[in-house]
Structure 1
């Protein structure tokens, strides 16, 4: 959840939209990863509901069981 939000926010900052990954973006994001993770944690700590967190956990468990 944190990683996805951080990556989505970084892609919007880099490309102007959420989709895509390129070698240039990868290098750019590598240098900024910690700041995007920190910001994603701050946002999620403030705004994520227990239901959203439970759903994310359930999705991870299902992925591991596939």
Structure 2
């Protein structure tokens, strides 16, 4: 896999994770855990949360944050 492909996958994962975490906090005040109710609620609002996360990360993400996310992905694959 080319480096660019890996970077695109990592960026997508960062956006998705931020969108889901922000939505979860808005839903019930906690960023952890999913329920059928939250899944339904998020599905109806995911486009907006993804857009907001993408805009934020385009402006605010730095190399250290990206490196941390990459390391988290690597650690997940090891488990």
TM-score, normalised by the number of residues in structure 1: 0.80
Unaligned 5+ runs, structure 2: 1-13
Rate the CA distance shift 1:17–1:60 in 2: closer, same or farther, 3 A: closer
CA deviation vs aligned residue, 1:2-30 (integer Å, no higher than 9, x gap): 11110000001101121221001000100
Instruction: Give the whole-Å Cα distance in 1 for the aligned partners of 2:20 and 2:41.
Output: 11
Q: Higher mean Cα deviation, 41-50 or 55-64?
A: 55-64
RMSD (CA atoms)? 1.6
CA deviation vs aligned residue, 1:19-58 (integer Å, no higher than 9, x gap): 2210010001001111100000111111100222233234
Partner of 1:44: 57
**Aligned residues, how many?**
66
Partner of 1:10: 23
Unaligned 5+ runs, structure 1: none
TM-score, normalised by the number of residues in structure 2: 0.69
